[in-house]
Structure 1
Amino acid sequence: MTKYTPIEYKPKDYTHLRGLVGITDEQIEVHLKLYKGYVSRTNALFTRVADLSNDGKTGDSSFQELKRRAGWEWDGMRLHEYYFDGLKANADELRDDNAFAKKVIAQFGSIDAWKADLVGVAKMPGVGWALTYLDPSNGQIWNHWVEQHQNGHPAGARLLLALDVWEHAFAVYRKPLPADRAAYIDDFFANVDWKVVAGRLA
C-alpha cells in the first residue's frame, strides 16, 4: 500500500533583496529568518500529519490540532513569499502603462486612489497583512485585511500584492527605535517590483 508522503518545501533565495530604499539589510535578515522558520515548521507539520494519517490516527486529537495549525504555518510561508517576491532594489515607479496600473485606474480612478485605499488598510490598528486581490471571475480588484495568516482570505481570489504590517517587518529597520509603521509603508512602495505584481494578473 502506498503511503502518503508530503512534498518538502524549500526556502526561496532572497539574497537579491539588498540595498532597498529605507528597509535595511539588517531588517531583511531578521525577516528572512522568520520566513525560514515558517518553511521549516510547515515541513515538520506536514510530515507529522502524514505519519499520523499513515498510522490510521486521523481521529486522534494530535492529528486534528495539527490540521488546525497547518493554515497558520503554510500561509505564513506563502504570504512572505508573495511579499518578498514583490520587492526589489532600484524599483521603478508604478506607471500608467503597467497592466496592474491600468486595472486600478479603471476601477479606482487613479493609482493614487488605489494606493490611498491600501495604505488605509495597512494603517488600521493591529498587526496583519494588507493585501490586494483580484476576483478572476469578474476582474474586481480590492484591498483586504488579514490578521491571522489562516483566517479571512477570500475564496478563489488571486493575490496580487502583499504588504506585511506585522511588527517584525519593520521593528529594527529604522533607528533610533521605535520603528515607524507609516515610514515603513512609504518605503515599501518605493521597493515594489510592479512587473511582478502585473504578472500575477494572469
Structure 2
Amino acid sequence: MSDSKYAPAEYKAKDYSHLRGLVGITDEQIEVHLKLYGGYVNRTNALFAKTAGLSNEGKTGDSSFQELKRRLGWEWNGMRLHEYYFDGLTPKAGELRADNPFAKAVTAQFGSIEAWRADLAGVAKMPGVGWALTYLDPNNGQIWNHWVEDHQDGHPASGRLLLALDVWEHAFAVYRKPLPPERAAYIEDFFANVDWDVVAKRLA
C-alpha cells in the first residue's frame, strides 16, 4: 500500500495591475473588485487543503468533508470566472472589427455583431445578480449567451467560455462616483473595454 498523500496544487492570484485607465470603469472600482478576486483565490486554496487533509485521513464520509466539497465549487468558479472577466479587459480596447474571428463567428450565428451584443446585454440586464456569459459549443460551433447566478451552478457541460461579464453588484458598487451605481452604464463601458483579440483566441 502506498504512503503517498493527496497534495493539491496551489493557485496564485494573477497580476492585473495593468487594468488602470479603463473607459468609464474607475481605478477604484477595479481595486475593490481585485480584492474580492484575491479572496476567492485564498479560499479556494484553503478548501483544497482542508478537503485533502480529510481525504488523507479517510474522512470522506464526514459531513464536514461533504459540505466543504460543496463550497469548493463556489470558490473555485468564483476565482476562475473573475480571471476570464479580467483577462478579457484592456485599457487600450478598440471596436470589435468585422474581420475578427469572434466577430465572424457571432455574425454567422446572430446575423450581426450588434444583434449578438444586444442579446448579451439583455441577459446582463435580467433581474438579479450573476454572470452573463458567451459560450461556444465545440461540437457544432453553436454560440449563445448564458445566465449563471450562483458560481457553481448552471454552467453548460463542455461549453467553452468565450466572454465573461460580471453583473454582481460588486462589479459596479463604487462605479462612477458620486453617481449611484447604474448597471446599464456599466454594461456599456464593459463593452468599450473588452480585448477582442483575447476573446477570439478562446475560440480555438
Q: Give the TM-score normalised by structure 2.
A: 0.98
* Match runs of 1:33-48 below 5 Å: 33-48=35-50
SS of the residue 1:47 aligns to: helix
Inter-partner Cα distance in structure 2 for 1:178 and 1:17: 22
Q: Which residue is equivalent to 1:61?
A: 63
Displacement, 1:177? 3.8
Inter-partner Cα distance in structure 2 for 1:173 and 1:26: 8
Count of residue pairs the alignment pairs up: 202
Inter-partner Cα distance in structure 2 for 1:190 and 1:152: 27
Q: 2:162 aligns with which of 129, 152, 160?
A: 160
Q: Which residue is equivalent to 1:148?
A: 150
Inter-partner Cα distance in structure 2 for 1:122 and 1:156: 22
Letter of the 2:37 counterpart: Y
Displacement, 1:46? 0.2
Q: 1:3 and 2:5 equivalent?
A: yes
Runs of 4 or more above 6 Å deviation: none
Inter-partner Cα distance in structure 2 for 1:178 and 1:163: 20
SS of the residue 1:178 aligns to: coil
Displacement, 1:90? 1.6
Q: Which residue is equivalent to 2:196?
A: 194
Letter of the 1:92 counterpart: G
Structure 1 segments unaligned to the other structure (5+ residues): none
SS of the residue 2:104 aligns to: helix
Query: Deviation per CA, 1:17-47, whole angstroms, max 9, x where unpaired?
Result: 0000000000000000000000000000000
Query: Percent identical across equivalent pairs?
Result: 82
Which deviates further from its counterpart, 183-192 or 173-182?
Answer: 173-182
Q: Which residue is equivalent to 1:88?
A: 90
Q: 2:76 aligns with which of 62, 74, 78?
A: 74
Displacement, 1:144? 0.1
Inter-partner Cα distance in structure 2 for 1:22 and 1:52: 46
SS of the residue 2:158 aligns to: coil
Inter-partner Cα distance in structure 2 for 1:177 and 1:8: 40
SS of the residue 1:132 aligns to: strand
Q: Give the TM-score normalised by structure 1.
A: 0.99
Q: Which residue is equivalent to 1:118?
A: 120
